[in-house]
Every structure is written in structure tokens, then in C-alpha cells.
Homo-oligomer: A and B are copies of this chain.
Amino acid sequence: MKKFNKKAYIQSIKSLHSADQADSLESLTTENQASVLKTHIKYFHPDFIAYLIEETRDDILHMIPNKQLVNLIRYLDLDDAVEILGDFETVELVNILSKLGTQKRERIEESLRYPENSAGRLMNRDYLAMQLNITVGDLIDQLRTSRSGPRDFYNIFIVDDLNRPIGYVPSGRVLRSKTTKKLKDIIYKDIHVINSEDNIEDIAYTFRQYGLVSAPVVNPDNKMIGIMAVDDVVEIDHEESEDDMRKLGGLFVNDFYKGALTSATSRFIWLGLNLLTAILASLVIDIYSDQLQQMIAIAVLMPIVASMGGNAGTQAMTIYVRAIATKDINKSNYSKLIIKEFLIGTINGLALCLIMGLIAYFWFESMILAIAISIAILINLGFACLVGIIIPVTINKLRIDPALASGIVLTTFTDVFGFLSFLSIATFILQL
């Protein structure tokens, strides 16, 4: 192993963009991260901490000396500061907040009162809201002289007398309009508001669905209290998709940047659950051990039935876990989709059971075996596609994350049902 050259490392990162600095730091070992941050934090742009991935951010933040950490947070945008401070324990949090200016502290505290991942927590409280009757000329004068409000912005929101959003004007449109025009002459009224308690999935859906650049956040009285911008949403939406993808693959966290032991521990839970499922399937097989001894070909073929069911079920489940996340599935189409899945399972079941029946017949020269595996594959495919839609929808109704739990429940069903159906059908035909 080469020795880590801290000087050369600092040289290589100091002129990078803060996002690349964050990536580079994440790729170091924990010891080297701690060593670099302890002595050379000044070579990092303060907002590099906003670009750290969630999984390692907490560890890295705790390596930064307290005084420097407060300085970094002072520099950050409010929404970034809130996101980072949400990770801290209460004692540390109080300690850090006490060192910030009153205004910033109060605004951070206000945001932290909203639940994690809600619009109230994620929004930016710095935005421009104007009334309908102001002219373009007056607006520009006001923007030039006033020091309040954001320095850079993309949309100007229009609110009524009660501070309820009624429209917006893109800043480019203001630049292209005559100074005598009023905002009501150039307003866009197709506004999509975000509620302060909306969660990130809802927000990402609204932005994607309507191609928004920024949107006002309102409180339960419909009054404007902040904005969300698409550049924040793109990151959030990306992480949500990645999250679901990982969960479907049996991972609770992204362990790409974690050490082998931590990764092994977090992956073990899933494997342990799968071991239970596999043992359950073996218990089913054990019931039929006499029949297996009588006709060992059954043992040779039985994994095929379970595997086909598992794969067909996973296909359906993948579709519906995502359809739930993107709100494409609802009461009105649920029963239609159940019928559709049953049809898909039956069609593919018919095709596969014919193929497999012929193979089994020529392989083992046994009509009994061919008939048993054909029937088992047919009913398994229909069953697998059905549970592939019913399981994620039911789990979602129980308020459990369908991406996380569907896979293991599905495997249990398709494995147990796969072995049970094939072995019981074969036994039944053998007895005839």
C-alpha cells in the first residue's frame, strides 16, 4: 500500500469545483479523510459539504473541528444548512445553533420543525413575491435598490392580498417587457403549489409531471412560505429512484463508499431474511421426501418451477413498485390491472409449460413428470403475476415501503407455492 501524500492530495483538489472536491474526499479512506479535514479544511469550498452523499456525510461532518464547522454552516444557503443540521443530535445541534446569528438561527429552527423530507424542511425561505398591480419599471427599481430577497432567482411569484400564490413571471419575461406593463399583463396563471407537508416523492412528481422550474410552497392556509427549485428536486428525485433500485436489489443503504465490515453487516439482514424463506421452502420439500426418493427426477426438476415463478413475479412487482411511486396506480385501474397480470401469467404460463413439458418428457421419458411440471408451471406463472401486483399494493396500504419489503414477501410466496404445487401434483399423479 502506498503512503498517502497529503500535500499532493491538497494540491490536486484545491482548484476543483466543490462537487468534485466532495467526490474526491469520499473516495479516501476514513483515516485519510480525518487527517485532511483536521488540518487542511480551508482548501475546500464551504459548500462541498452540501454535495456529500447522505450515507457518508454524517461521518465526515464529525471529522471537521467544531469551530470550522460553524463557519461552514454560516456560509451555506439556508436549505443546505437545514439539510445538514438535520443529521445532528440535539446536544450538538443546540451547540452549533447558539453560535449562529439570531436571524439565521431562527430561520433554521423554523425549518427544522417540519418533518424530514417534507417541503417545509427542504424549501428555500428566500424568494420574491409581488402583487399584481406593480409595473415592470417599479419592480426593476425595487429590485435594484432593495437588499432583501435572493441575489439570483428565476421566477417572480405573484401573490394576492392574503399572500396566496396566484401566478408567476419568469425573470427573463420581465426583462423582455415594457416598463409600463403591469405584472398582471404578463403573469402565467398555470401555477402548481407544493404543500409544506408534501414529501419528496410528491414534490418530484409535481415537478416532473408539469415540467416546473420553481414552485411556491404554501402552509395549510394556502399562504406562501417558501419556494422549491428544480435543481434541488433533480437531486432528490435521483436519490429516490436510486433508493428504490437498491431496495429492490436487497440493500438498505448504498454501501459503495463504506468499508467491507459495515457493508457486510447491512447486507446481512436481507440475507438472513432470505435464509428463513429458503428454509421454509426446504420444509415444504421435506414433506415430500418419500416421493422424491421414489422418483429422483422430481428433485432434479423442482428448482425450475420455483425459479420461473420467482422471475415472473419479479417482473410484475418491478412494474408496480414503480407505478406506486409515480402514482400511476389507483382504485379505478387496480382491478383491471389484476386481470391483466393474471392474463399475462396465463399466456406465458401456457407457452412455458408446453416447452418444459416436452423437455421433461424427452429427458426423463416420463409422461407423469411431463404432465406434473406442465401443470405446475402454468398455475405458478398465473399465481406469480397475481402476487406480483397484489403484494406491493397491499404492503403500500400497510404503510410499509413497497420497494423494500415486496421482494422478500414475493420470494417466499413463489418459492413455497412453486415447490408445493409441483411436488403435490407429482405425488397426486404418481398415486393414480
Please give the residue numbers on chain A whose beta carbons come within 8 Å of chain B beta carbons, in ascending order. Answer: 17, 19-20, 23, 27, 128, 139-140, 143-144, 150-154, 170-178, 190, 204, 207-213, 229-235, 237-238, 241-242, 244-246, 248-251, 254-256, 259-261, 263-264, 267-268, 270-272, 274-275, 277-279, 281-282, 285-286, 289, 292-293, 296-297, 299-304, 306-308, 311-312, 314-315, 317-319, 322-323, 328, 333, 339-340, 343-344, 347-348, 351-352, 355-356, 359, 415, 419
With the chains together, A142 CA to B271 CA distance in Å?
65
With the chains together, A190 CA to B340 CA distance in Å?
52
Contact with A318, one of B204, B246, B264 (Cβ below 8 angstroms): B246
Contact yes or no, A175 B234, CB < 8 A: no
Contact yes or no, A260 B307, CB < 8 A: no
- Write out the residue numbers on chain B whose beta carbons fall within 8 Å of the beta carbon of A297: 289
Contact with A299, one of B245, B299, B314 (Cβ below 8 angstroms): B299
With the chains together, A20 CA to B274 CA distance in Å?
41
Contact yes or no, B208 A260, CB < 8 A: no
Contact yes or no, B211 A322, CB < 8 A: no
Instruction: List 10 other contacts, CB 8 Å, given A234-B234, A250-B314.
Output: A151-B176, A154-B171, A246-B318, A260-B339, A260-B347, A263-B344, A264-B348, A271-B348, A272-B355, A296-B299
> Which residue on chain B has the smallest CB distance to residue A176?
B143
Contact with A279, one of B304, B314, B318, B344 (Cβ below 8 angstroms): B304
Contact yes or no, A170 B153, CB < 8 A: yes
Contacts A307-B278, A315-B251, A347-B264; A154 near B213 (Cβ below 8 A):
yes
Contact with A286, one of B143, B279, B300 (Cβ below 8 angstroms): B300
> Which residue on chain B has the smallest CB distance to residue A29?
B336
Contact yes or no, A282 B263, CB < 8 A: no
With the chains together, A348 CA to B266 CA distance in Å?
10
> Which residue on chain B has the smallest CB distance to residue A323?
B256
- Write out the residue numbers on chain B whose beta carbons fall within 8 Å of the beta carbon of A328: 256
Secondary structure of the A contact surface, majority rule:
helix
A-B contacts, 25 of them at CB < 8 A, read A171-B172, A171-B175, A211-B232, A237-B238, A241-B241, A241-B245, A242-B322, A246-B318, A249-B315, A251-B318, A259-B340, A264-B347, A268-B348, A270-B311, A274-B307, A275-B352, A278-B304, A278-B307, A282-B300, A282-B303, A282-B304, A292-B300, A302-B303, A303-B303, A303-B306
- Write out the residue numbers on chain B whose beta carbons fall within 8 Å of the beta carbon of A348: 264, 267-268, 271
Contact with A238, one of B17, B208, B306 (Cβ below 8 angstroms): B208
- Write out the residue numbers on chain B whose beta carbons fall within 8 Å of the beta carbon of A303: 278, 281-282, 285, 302-303, 306, 415, 419
Name the distance in Å between A143's Cβ and chain B's nearest Cβ.
Answer: 5
Name the distance in Å between A157's Cβ and chain B's nearest Cβ.
Answer: 12
With the chains together, A210 CA to B16 CA distance in Å?
11
- Write out the residue numbers on chain B whose beta carbons fall within 8 Å of the beta carbon of A312: 267, 271
Contact yes or no, B171 A209, CB < 8 A: no
Contact with A256, one of B210, B212, B319 (Cβ below 8 angstroms): B319
- Write out the residue numbers on chain B whose beta carbons fall within 8 Å of the beta carbon of A415: 303, 307
- Write out the residue numbers on chain B whose beta carbons fall within 8 Å of the beta carbon of A323: 256
Contact yes or no, A231 B248, CB < 8 A: no
With the chains together, A233 CA to B20 CA distance in Å?
20
- Write out the residue numbers on chain B whose beta carbons fall within 8 Å of the beta carbon of A235: 208, 211
Contact yes or no, A278 B154, CB < 8 A: no
- Write out the residue numbers on chain B whose beta carbons fall within 8 Å of the beta carbon of A311: 250, 270-271, 274
- Write out the residue numbers on chain B whose beta carbons fall within 8 Å of the beta carbon of A351: 268
With the chains together, A144 CA to B173 CA distance in Å?
10
With the chains together, A282 CA to B150 CA distance in Å?
66
- Write out the residue numbers on chain B whose beta carbons fall within 8 Å of the beta carbon of A315: 249-251, 267, 270-271
